[in-house]
Structure 1
Amino acid sequence: MVATFLQSELADELKKILSDLRLKNPQGERVSINIFEQLLPMPEPLDQGEIAPELLENGLAEEQTAPDPYPYILVRIADGEIEDENSAQKVNLTLLIGIYEPDYDKQGHKDILNIIAKIYERFAKFPVLNGKYTIQYPILWTLQDEESYPFYFGGVNLAFEIAAVRREDPYS
């Protein structure tokens, strides 16, 4: 098994786990959580024909745009380990969570904790993902240390065991 397969399948599972959750985006709409693998979307160059000429001449138009990712979870492969030739592979993934919550009561951390709880609940009840990947403990989570209103961030570290590749060399 390859770590990128785990990453993709976990991203799909997160979409299912969080399908009923709607959070605000910076445009004020309630939307589903965006799930990205490894990196946030990159800015794409704008077609110069889409920008008013006077904005281009005065340097007031941005040359690139990127889709606004909020709310999002970034499924990032952190590292892995194969202890010896008979061991299963252990893959560590970091889930980076980013949300936008403009309310002045500053309770965005509760949405982050709710997301973490839903992820934990799924793997506590059913520790195997797609019959191939088994969750390992501990499951670690964190909230941001610094103030970043109206954006809130958190993270979850998940480790999975992937079936080992067995030696087939008949001459060993």
Structure 2
Amino acid sequence: MIRELEKYISNIITEITANEELPVYKEEGKRAPKIITGFLPIEEAETTIPAIAIRTTNGKNDLNEKRTTLKIIIALFFTESEKGYEKLNDLIERISKKIIETGVILEKYEILPDIIWEIPEEQPYPFWIGIVNFNVLYGNEYRNDINDWLDGK
């Protein structure tokens, strides 16, 4: 279930960024960011960036709700600090807005409207990193052995 949610968010971000022309580290030209579910491959980070990774970071299931947190990590390459900062803010804003507007995904995942984003103070120049976190509610899972217990099994 989590993977289908990550894939859906990945498709939303692909739509938003498909026409982006972003600089690529150690390569000529520009391209749209690679969209990845899971972790950015550290060993290939320089050739992967620009990239956006989507992954779940934690979850909770109790009597009241089943909730998971999704994290979107935006990694860009810009030698000009101001351009890197501006593009990072632009992507954070556009992605956050579209996710909130989506509301319900696949008729079972409810995106909560409280999004927390961050641009860490320390950046690995010439790379620029931004992080967007949001929560999703979906169907609770409860014990199903209670009937056996009540029936004396």
TM, length-normalised to structure 2: 0.82
Distance 1:72 1:129 in 2: 23
Structure 1: which 4+ aligned runs deviate by more than 3 Å?
165-170
Q: Which residue of 1 aligns with 2:106?
A: 130
**Cα contact 2:62–2:140 (8 A) shared by 1:** no
Q: Which residue of 1 aligns with 2:77?
A: 100
Superposed CA RMSD: 2.4
| 2:121 aligned counterpart, secondary structure | coil
**Cα contact 1:34–1:71 (8 A) shared by 2:** yes
The structure that has the greater radius of gyration is 1
1:57-106 per-position Cα deviation (integer Å, ceiling 9, x unaligned): xxxxxxxx77711111111211001121xx44211011111100123x53
Q: Which residue of 1 aligns with 2:115?
A: 139
Distance 1:131 1:73 in 2: 25
Q: Which residue of 1 aligns with 2:29?
A: 29
Structure with a larger share of its residues in helix: 2
| 2:3 aligned counterpart, secondary structure | helix
Question: Structure 1 residues 125 and 76 mapped into 2: Cα distance closer, same or farther (>3 Å)?
Answer: closer
Distance 1:170 1:76 in 2: 34
Give the gaps of 5 or more residues in structure 1: 44-64
Percent identity of paired positions between Structure 1 and Structure 2? 21
Give the gaps of 5 or more residues in structure 2: none
Question: Structure 1 residues 30 and 97 mapped into 2: Cα distance closer, same or farther (>3 Å)?
Answer: same
Distance 1:80 1:97 in 2: 22
- Deviation (angstroms), 1:122: 0.9
Question: Structure 1 residues 97 and 15 mapped into 2: Cα distance closer, same or farther (>3 Å)?
Answer: same
Correspondence list, 1:142-157, <5 A: 142-157=118-133
Corresponding position: 1:112 with 2:88: yes
Correspondence list, 1:1-172, <5 A: 2-26=1-25, 27-41=27-41, 43=43, 68-84=47-63, 87-103=64-80, 106-165=82-141, 171=147
TM, length-normalised to structure 1: 0.74
**Cα contact 1:95–1:157 (8 A) shared by 2:** yes
